[in-house]
């Protein structure tokens, strides 16, 4: 891009250092932060510093429902992650896979977690609130199709 066009767009695009997708600014409940648009496959996130992603990768993972930080459970308790919003009513827990929380998806209908299930027609994603929420999604490459 020619030097003269440098200020043509006031909003600079920031790229994820891991997967090269764009980052987006998210208004989290704990304040703004930057998350990768490749979420949930890529869980890179940055703290927001003056409207820009900070230089340091935030090594903490975010809750797929409320965007608060996920906290790894004590070793004695088992290999899983739980939401730091637990006392605020977010009961998300995710299994630990090689030090990273398992991929989790949100029900588009009721905003609770989806769970992978085996039905007679194959694998699908059902709502964890079943039977009060009967939303279900077909599976493709281990993720729900919305
Ligand atoms: Zn990424
Ligand atoms: Zn949460
Ligand atoms: Zn649901």
Question: Does the structure show a pLDDT above 70 at 5?
Answer: no
For residues 126 and 33, the model is more confident at 126
Where does the pLDDT of residue 83 fall: very low under 50, low under 70, confident under 90, or very high at 90 and above? very high
Distance in Å, CA 146 to ligand 3 centroid: 12
pLDDT digits (tens, 9 = 90+) for 58-73: 556 889 998 888 988 9
Distance in Å, CA 45 to ligand 1 centroid: 8
d(CA 57, CA 54): 7
Residue 143: is it exposed, middle or buried by C-beta count within 10 angstroms (0-12/13-18/19+)?
middle
Distance in Å, CA 55 to ligand 2 centroid: 25
Strand order in the sheet with 31-36: 23-28, 31-36, 45-49, 52-58
Nearest ligand to the CA of 24 is 1
Mean pLDDT, the chain, whole residue set: 86
Question: Does the structure show a pLDDT above 80 at 9?
Answer: no
Beta-carbon contacts of residue 21 (< 8 Å; ≥ 6 apart):
15, 36, 37, 38, 42
Distance in Å, CA 106 to ligand 3 centroid: 8
The overall pTM is greater than 0.75: no
Distance in Å, CA 28 to ligand 1 centroid: 18
For residues 81 and 46, the model is more confident at 81
Q: How confident is the model over 88-117, as a mean pLDDT?
A: 91
Distance in Å, CA 52 to ligand 3 centroid: 34
Q: How confident is the model over 75-101, as a mean pLDDT?
A: 91
User: Which residues line ion ligand 1, judged by CB < 5 Å?
Assistant: 16, 18-19, 21, 36, 38, 42, 44
Nearest ligand to the CA of 132 is 3
Report the percentage of the chain scoring pLDDT > 90.
55
Distance in Å, CA 9 to ligand 1 centroid: 23
């Amino acid at each position: 891009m020619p030097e003269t066009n440098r200020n043509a767009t006031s909003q600079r695009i920031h790229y994820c250092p891991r997967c090269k997708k764009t980052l987006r600014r998210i208004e989290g409940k704990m304040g703004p932060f930057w998350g990768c648009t490749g979420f949930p496959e890529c869980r890179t996130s940055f703290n927001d510093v003056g409207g820009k992603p900070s230089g340091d990768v935030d090594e903490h993972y975010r809750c797929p429902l409320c965007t608060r930080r996920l906290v790894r459970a004590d070793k004695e308790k088992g290999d899983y992650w739980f939401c730091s919003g637990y006392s605020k009513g977010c009961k998300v827990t995710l299994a630990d896979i090689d030090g990273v929380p398992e991929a989790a998806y949100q029900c588009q209908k009721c905003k609770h977690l989806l769970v992978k299930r085996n039905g007679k027609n194959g694998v699908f994603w059902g709502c964890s609130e079943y039977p009060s929420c009967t939303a279900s999604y077909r599976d493709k490459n281990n993720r729900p199709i919305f």
